[in-house]
Structure 1
């Protein structure tokens, strides 16, 4: 029996080889009926699709987009905001026939075939980032400083400024800031939010505490609440804010009567807790990252193609019941 190929399927259906190829790699280019006819004919002939290895050799591409993380995937994907971003990124790239390859810190980036990469809240100094830069792989940074390529960010500084100004306008003068990581570590987000909080407080000097955004910070938060005795707490994420609310309840502190709490992200838990927070559009961020990467890959293939420009997405303060006037 003769070997079934894309061309032999095309000949039987009276279409081009590219049309058959698109049925597998770029289904959005075909009508649903035509794609169904092609796949049905291929199945009848026993054809299961193009060989990925052969495609890679023929085109010089892998069809894969790497996504770099600084945290173990178990922690990163347990966060609803991160998972939502990943879903939006995957949806936007699916129309190009591109699949995501998730790269936790333990996987060497230089060993994984990919046509481009998205670095999510990583350090530009990380070894994986340097390897990708050396290989010439187009990289888009998200929520991080990335001087060697385009990046997508939300207005962290502006959002933090609005949150801090909100508690200052309510009369709070003893303010605790709970931020993630150490300032100046190259991630960008902690520095931007801290600068915004300080600016928004307008001369009120906060006490700064460092927490693990993915960890249990209950003991550290309880210690800070006892020692600092703040009337307001500004938190790096809604999950840290949720921990703060739980600790406040354990300590018998009334929210917002004795303690106002503000989060960041508008995580799905925020509305249920009545948490005042800074809302970001995670779907827009994922899709913007995909579009930037598409442009960066096109520019790499053709220098005449326009270079992608950085994207800064707006945020907004959402006031709920966890903030109130200082008592």
Structure 2
């Protein structure tokens, strides 16, 4: 063999020959599917160690099953910004846990078409797909996945009948936060929402815009808040980022004559941005304005504040999605799971100054 050639990877047959046993016996030692005499097992393992054989090639197993060993995860928007949100990071940790028994790799994908308008999902070597949300462009991704007959799970989105989903009680949880604000005595309240659709336009939420909204999380959280404050003005952000909360917060708080006494945001990052906007204007939180969020994440830059929010089970949400993917790949039926959030009162909300 030339010194430039890579050494051949030892096979289970090589191990069997060296150990003086049948190939099937050597295979059983590594699979653990049947008992083998201790002396035989020791002989096989010693031969494997001498040959540098670490175990069956997972690629070969994947080929025998007709699988790639990869699960595709379709995220909305740019991947470079997706993991700026701690909710996404926690959810992906949970998803990895849920897929652990499969030893599957994860392929992160965007919900946008590639060159020529085709979707990367149409040819991606994946065994199953997890869609984060199902709105706008992700609905196109769903159709591609369904046309390929791949198992699919949707996290926080409505993919239609027969598609297993992992959902949160967004409407109820948002209403819990709003009721807390109302019970403190606030009536002049403004809302900061997540994007309404894939256009991610920042601006006032009008009836016309709401009628064409496609992001279920935004719609459901807004419904919950407006159960308590039906006439509260709402403004959409272009994403769940602190900078977006800062920009919308400036819009809401700049005019003293129209300034709300409380702002309810649809994410903790947006709420943190609103707090920064208030501090820029010399306003105290919650002395001059109360601020509440949604998610229950750890946000840098809040100082001594503990944000009033609704804590969502982000890790559990991802884990549940992974477990349903694993069920489907085992040939078992998947189920939709509904998870619940927990209200947490913090130090960023208090009665309005007029009430105090």
- Shorter-chain TM range is 0.7 to 0.9
Structure 1 residues 51 and 236: CA distance shift in structure 2, 3 A? same
CA distance in 1, matches of 2:172, 2:251: 29
Quick one: which of 273, 277, 280 aligns to 1:250? Answer: 280
TM-score by length of 1: 0.84
**Alpha-carbon shift at residue 74 of structure 1 (Å):** 1.5
Preserved CA contact (<8 Å) 1:123 1:186: yes
Structure 1 residues 115 and 67: CA distance shift in structure 2, 3 A? same
CA distance in 2, matches of 1:175, 1:56: 56
2:190 is matched with which residue?
A: 176
Structure 1 residues 105 and 207: CA distance shift in structure 2, 3 A? same
Indicate the larger mover: 181-190 or 282-291.
181-190
Preserved CA contact (<8 Å) 1:124 1:146: no
Higher radius of gyration, 1 or 2: 2
Quick one: which of 290, 302, 311 aligns to 1:279? Answer: 311
TM-score by length of 2: 0.77
SS at match of 2:191: strand
Provide structure 2 residue ranges, at least 5 long, that are not aligned to the other structure. 1-6, 34-40, 115-119, 197-209
Quick one: which of 129, 135, 157 aligns to 1:117? Answer: 129
Q: How does 1:1-327 map to 2 (within 5 A)?
A: 4-9=10-15, 12=19, 15=25, 17=27, 20=30, 42=48, 44-47=50-53, 50=56, 54-105=60-111, 108-123=120-135, 126=138, 127-147=140-160, 148-182=162-196, 183=210, 184-201=212-229, 204-215=230-241, 216-217=243-244, 218-227=246-255, 228-269=258-299, 273-298=305-330, 301=331, 305=332, 307-327=333-353
CA distance in 2, matches of 1:237, 1:13: 64
2:38 is matched with which residue?
A: none
CA distance in 2, matches of 1:248, 1:133: 47
CA distance in 1, matches of 2:95, 2:268: 22
Preserved CA contact (<8 Å) 2:12 2:26: no
Per-residue deviation, residues 62-82 of structure 1 (Å, max 9, x unmatched): 111111101222111222221
CA distance in 2, matches of 1:4, 1:229: 73
2:200 is matched with which residue?
A: none
Aligned CA RMSD, in angstroms, stands at: 3.0
Per-residue deviation, residues 26-74 of structure 1 (Å, max 9, x unmatched): xxxxxxxxx9998885453244665565444321111111111012221
SS at match of 2:350: coil
SS at match of 2:234: strand
SS at match of 1:81: helix
**Alpha-carbon shift at residue 242 of structure 1 (Å):** 0.4
**Alpha-carbon shift at residue 18 of structure 1 (Å):** 5.5
Structure 1 residues 72 and 175: CA distance shift in structure 2, 3 A? same
**Alpha-carbon shift at residue 297 of structure 1 (Å):** 2.8
CA distance in 2, matches of 1:224, 1:3: 65
Preserved CA contact (<8 Å) 1:145 1:187: no
SS at match of 2:296: coil
Provide structure 1 residue ranges, at least 5 long, that are not aligned to the other structure. 24-34
